[in-house]
Amino acid sequence: MMDLDREEACAAISLPASMSAPLVGYEWARDNVGESGGAVYRLHSKIGAPDLFLKHGRSSVAGDITDEMVRLRWLGRYIPVPAVEGFVATQDEAWLLMTAVPGQTAYQILEAQPDTGIGIVDALAAFLRRLHAIPTSECPFNSDHAYRLSRARERIDADLVDEDDFDDEREGWTAEQVWEAMQHLLPMPSDPVVTHGDFSLDNILILDGEVVGCIDASRVGIADRYQDLAILWNCLGEFDASLQDRLIEQYGVAEADERKLQFHLLLDEMF
């Protein structure tokens, strides 16, 4: 069933010839959630065929989609993620076709059933520990804060940062002000693990109280564990501050590092 708050029916988009034939017969819906700058479509209701998701983007977004394709193929060896069903890239455009992960997002469940918060947070913390336990020696991708700061600087200089989408704490700030605030928190010691990079409630799928997979993997790579903890901690604050404390406890951190939380939330504003 279509969730009208999260997606809307649309016509099929133009596709590369190698992708178009297998997708005949699907109904299309465009996703309204997410801030990647590209477009995400759910393909559904084809008799005898599973639901699929298609990502499409141009310019810098095409590069992000390519990054996600490569990371999904690697990460799927360790944790459940969408399987890549097809991928096409040109000089300035990319299309990524993936299987659908079952369940609902953690955000959807918390919004509809706030009394499930403790159980959901416990499941999220367990999954995050599982992700962070992947040996860094096996991960070919770097996403540490030095690398992401360089990307952030490029985005600021190219005027790609959406200042209107900053969190409430930074409403009215410019990207340069966020940049300066980050500099005041450096140097930042690192505790590297394999991170998702955008571990938000909208990117984690849950079924019957258990995490069954994660999506939006374009930022996967070795980084400080607070890259993931900060984003999830911030998301939980939209529901109940006690859930933030529960996350830190269940993940296994003795006490939250407020400096790292602040730094990684500032850094996330750049993307």
Evaluate whether the domain defined by 7-99 bears CATH number 3.30.200.20.
yes
Going by pLDDT thresholds of 50, 70 and 90, the confidence category of residue 3 is: low
Percent of the chain whose pLDDT exceeds 70? 97
What is the tens place of the pLDDT at every residue in 45-69?
999 999 999 999 999 899 999 999 9
Please report which residue ranges of 170-257 form alpha helices under DSSP H: 175-183, 226-236, 241-251
**Average model confidence (pLDDT) across the chain:** 94
For residue 146, which of 221, 63, 199, 218 has the smallest C-alpha distance?
221
Please report the pLDDT score of residue 20 as a whole number: 93
> Average pLDDT of 240-253?
97
Q: Report the run of H or E that residue 110 belongs to, with start and end.
A: helix 106-112
Measured in degrees and rounded to the nearest 5, phi and psi for residue 215 equal: -125, 180
pLDDT of 42 above 80: yes
Average pLDDT over every residue of 146-161: 96
- pLDDT attached to residue 1: 43
> Do 7-99 and 104-268 fold alike per CATH?
no
190 Rama class: left (phi>0) / alpha (psi -120 to 50) / beta = beta
67 belongs to the catalytic site: no
DSSP tally for the chain: helices H, then strands E: 9, 11
Determine the Cα–Cα distance for residues 248 and 262; give it in Å rounded to an integer.
15
pLDDT digit string, tens, across residues 73-118? 999 999 999 999 999 999 999 999 999 999 999 999 999 999 999 9
Asked whether residue 128 carries a pLDDT value surpassing 50, the answer given is yes
pLDDT tens digits for range 131-151: 999 999 999 999 999 999 999
Domain 104-268 has CATH 3.40.50.460: no
The pLDDT assigned to 2 comes to 45
| Active-site option among 31, 198, 216, 257 | 198
pLDDT digits (tens, 9 = 90+) for 210-240: 999 999 999 999 999 999 999 999 999 999 9
Which residue in this structure is represented by tokens 């005027």?
Answer: 159
* Band (182; pLDDT cuts 50, 70, 90): very high
What are the residues whose beta carbons fall under 8 Å from the beta carbon of 225, sequence distance 6 or more? 132, 191, 192, 193, 195
Domain residues of the chain, as ranges? 7-99, 104-268
CA dihedral 241, 111, 170, 146 (to 10 degrees): 80
Half-sphere CA count of 69, side-chain side, radius 13 A? 20
- The answer to whether the CB of 232 falls within 8 A of the CB of 200 is yes
